[in-house]
Structure formats: C-alpha cells, structure tokens
Amino acid sequence: MRYPFDRLVRADAVVVGSGIGGLTAALAMAPRRVLVITKGDPGGGSTPWAQGGIAAAVAAADSPADHAADTVAVGGGLNDPAAVEVLTADAPRRVAALEALGVRFDTGPDGKVLLGREGGHQHRRVLHSGGDATGAEMMRALVRAAAAAAHVETLPFAFAADLVRDGARVVGVTARTDDGEKVLALAPAVVLGTGGIGRLYANTTNPPEVTGDGLAMAARAAAALADLEFVQFHPTALASGRDPMALLTEALRGEGAVLVDDAGDRFMVGHHPDAELAPRDVVARAIWARLEAGRRVYLDATAAVGASFPERFPTVFALCREDGIDPRVEPVPVAPAAHYHMGGVATGLDGRASLPGLWAVGEVSCTGAHGANRLASNSLLEATVFGQRAGEAVRAAGAPPVEATAAFAAADPGPAPGDLSEVVAQVRRTMWHRVGVVRDGPGLTAAVERLGELEGRLPPAASEARNMVEAGRLIARAALARGESRGAHFRSDFPAPAPPGEEAAP
Ligand code: SIN
C-alpha cells in the first residue's frame, strides 16, 4: 500500500505540545513510549511566559476548601465541583512533585516558601520562582526531565495537522516538519497539550505560536468542546505597542500597585470592594471602559514596589526598560489583552475527551475547573494536576499498538501553506473588535460572517491560519449563543447573568 507521507512513527502515545501540560503527561506515562510533537523547540508556548505563579493551599492558615471557594467565586457558578475539588486538593502534592523535579520556588531568609497574593484569593497562596519567572523555571525543569527520560522521544519543529481516526477512535496524528517531511504518528492514545487561542486576538499576552491548533484539530475530528465563549482578558498588559503585549503580572497589584487614569483617578476604589484585586474580568472591563472613554490608564507601582522592582519583578522590569519606561519611578501604561481560554476540548477528570483514544491537558482542555473565569495562578496548576492524571491514566490503559490500515492512506497533512499573514491579521482584528472584552449580538453575528468569508480564502490543508479562523468562528458562535453576561463573557446587550438554573447557553 502507498501512503501519502514520508515517515511513519509508532508509539504507545503521542503528545502534541510541549508546555507544562504536555510534558507533565508525557513524563507520567513511563515506561510507555511517548512521541512529543511540538511546533518549535520543546519548552516553547505560553508556559515559559507565565509570570505570577502557581496557586496552592500550603500556608497554615489556608486550606484546599478555601482555595476551592475562591476558584468557584471567580468562576461565575459554572465550575464543575468535582474538577475544582481535584484541582485544589492535589495542588500541594503537585507543588511537592515539581520541587522533586528540580523546580526552585522563591523562599525567604528563613527558608520558607514565599507566597504572593493575586486577585480573587482570600489568602496569600501563590508560589513563584525568580520573582516573576515561574513558568520559565518550570519549563527548565520539565524540559530537562523530558530530555533525560528514555521513554520520551521529541519531534521538534513539526506542525501537527490533523487527528487520524479509525471509526470513532483517534489513532494518530499527521504532521509536517519545517523541512517539508510529512509524518504519520500512530498511537492508541493521543494527548492534545497545544495551549490556548491568544493569537486569535490583535491584543494578547500570548506568544505567536498560540493559534488554537488543538481546538481546531479536535473540532475537525468531531470531539466534544465546551465553554468556548469564555476567554479571559488580562487587565494589565503593557500598552507600549508591542505585539504580543508584555504581561504586567497581577502579583504587582498583589503587592499594592494601583490603577490610575490620566486624570489621577484611582478608579477601582469604589468600583469593587477588593479594588485592584477584584476578579480579572471586573478589572479588565473597568480599564476597558476608561480607555473607550478616551482616557489612558496606568499601573502605578512606584510606592508599592519602587526601588526593589529589579529584584522582585525582574521580567517585568526588563520588559519595561526595553520600552523606555522605568517602573520604579513612573506609572506604566496598561490595557487589557487576551490571555487565557477557559473553554476547550471537554474532558473528564483524567483528561479523557469524548472520542476514544483522545485526551487533552492544559489550556486546550476544558476540565470545568475554571467555569466562566479562571482564578489567577490556577492555570499552571490545572496543567500540572490534570497533566499528571492524564499521563497516569494513559499509562494504566496500556492499549495495544495501532496497526496501519487502508484508512491511513488518506492521512495526508497536505502541503505547507503560502503566506497567509493578511488573513491572520484580519482574524485578529475581527476577534478583538467583535469577540473581545465587551460583546454584543450584532458584533458577534458580523464576526461569524467575516470569519466565514476569511475561511473561503484559505487553502484546504491544515495551517495555523485555518486553525485560527475555525477556532475563532467556534468562539464567536458560542458567545452569540450565550445570551447573558457571566464571568469573562460580557454582553452589552445582556449585561446581567441569567437567573439560576438558566445559565446554560441556549
Ligand atoms: C499573572 O501573572 O498575572 C498571570 C498569572 C495567571 O494568568 O494566572
């Protein structure tokens, strides 16, 4: 039989993506043989950009129950209680596991771990590394562990194009490498760990490779998806003209930095009892309203952090200095930016998706733990908790290898696309203006239509641009269907939440 690919790889599992979710899952699968397919170098994606930290109830005054209560309060009542319980109860164990892997959390002079505070948390419970370089430190340890693991093989610089199905079962992935090789990877378990959708938006804190690939692949394979309308906009991205925008970690507000507008008004006071530490959606909309009214908004950390900025927040300090701003002595201009997707591939508590053979971990998944809005610093946590559970479940399942059948003759990743940057730019503008911080019915309808037109301009083979258009349309449709405001999803034509019991999208 002649197959339309250059290389066939067989493994016990294929993991697509090499962030914290994917690599945690891959490591937990030992001794099963795992192929990790990743678009760039292992360790790229959003994880190394994560600043704030990882939330866990490790303080004596704290408890997983308090952590769970905060997670649900921010999540707008849509959280899955079982997923929240797993997330918050496993958190201290996963922190210990990360330390055992070599992750160094910041400690004080007494050797005790330092805990930061962020919006929506009733306690200080955010562990961090290198001040504001938590994700980078985790990736350092995970990439090193994966490189040393005999059961993990990595295929870098390879774009995973599509899931391969045999009937209802997912049995593999097609991919194109940067040097043009077409690959078919067959395995009884395929784990998506491809991250979120930040690049779909003109303003985002996410790196350029975060293009909704796993979401679009899962949709094309007809896997169940959930909560797609819930996109989190981080309130404080550095408004200095960068693309992507630099994140100004919420931990700055946790240390007392305040938001002011160009009239000197500290507008979060009186707007919410927790002022700058209100849930992210509340702060993001308040900033948005000021900007729409023609004002400028600044994060002022001069009093709260001041001279200690370079030691306490070295990443943010360096980014500001690159743009000619000295946050020790001057307020920093800010604006909201797309940051995190609560929705994704619907999974159970062990990462299993609706199609046999398919799993999802990290931001591409929707475990239900976040509900309509994610609590700060619960993202690295969710990825490590559910990545570990998925890896263990794949290892325990121990399904037999996949044999090549005639169906795989159609498993062609297609040719690499040409330059689609103009379509990509239009997707990003459409999503920002129509499916952004504040939405309404006519704007969402226009977005669905516009994205449909853009899809018509794309070559049929899978590409980042195609994934962005398809994922964008799914998000816009879900936002149109939810005729209420809840969590991160705000509709100016339905500004209130639906009454209890009527929350589900029609
Ligand atoms: C931040 O540091 O503000 C981002 C952390 C997160 O997204 O939870």
Averaged over successive runs of 10 residues, the pLDDT of the chain (506 residues) comes to 84 97 98 97 89 95 97 95 98 98 96 93 96 96 97 97 94 95 95 98 97 98 98 97 96 95 96 93 96 97 97 96 98 98 98 98 98 96 98 92 77 88 97 98 98 95 96 98 97 92 60
Which ligand 1 atom minimizes the distance to the CA of 375? 8
Which ligand 1 atom minimizes the distance to the CA of 340? 7
- pLDDT value of residue 406: 67
Read off the DSSP letter of residue 403: P
Centroid of ligand 1 to alpha carbon of 258 (angstroms): 17
d(CA 303, CA 293): 27
For a ligand 1 pocket test, name from 132, 250, 384 the mutation site with the most ligand atoms within 8 angstroms of its C-beta: 250
- pLDDT value of residue 5: 87
Which ligand 1 atom minimizes the distance to the CA of 378? 8
Q: What are the residues facing 184 on neighbouring strands?
A: 8, 174
- pLDDT value of residue 506: 45
Residues marked active site are found at: 280
Percent of the chain with pLDDT over 90: 91
The string of pLDDT tens digits covering residues 462-485 is: 999 999 999 999 999 999 999 999
Helix (H, G, I), strand (E, B) or coil at 275: helix
Domain locations in the chain as residue ranges: 7-229+342-408, 237-335, 417-481
The alpha carbon dihedral of 275, 371, 382, 174 has a sign of negative
Ligand 1 pocket list (CB less than 6 A): 50-52, 247, 249-251, 340, 376-377, 379
Q: What's the CATH class of domain 417-481?
A: mainly alpha
Q: Is 198 exposed, middle or buried (0-12, 13-18, 19+ CB in 10 A)?
A: buried
Centroid of ligand 1 to alpha carbon of 363 (angstroms): 13
Q: What's the CATH class of domain 237-335?
A: alpha beta
Which residue has the least CA distance to atom 2 on ligand 1?
52
Which CATH topology does 7-229+342-408 take?
FAD/NAD(P)-binding domain (3.50.50)
For a ligand 1 pocket test, name from 54, 118, 259, 319 the mutation site with the most ligand atoms within 8 angstroms of its C-beta: 118
Centroid of ligand 1 to alpha carbon of 356 (angstroms): 33
Centroid of ligand 1 to alpha carbon of 360 (angstroms): 22
d(CA 57, CA 242): 35
For a ligand 1 pocket test, name from 70, 117, 247, 381 the mutation site with the most ligand atoms within 8 angstroms of its C-beta: 247
CB atoms within 10 A of CB 241: 8
pTM, two decimal places? 0.96
Side chain identity at 446, as an amino acid letter? A
Which ligand 1 atom minimizes the distance to the CA of 250? 3
Centroid of ligand 1 to alpha carbon of 189 (angstroms): 31
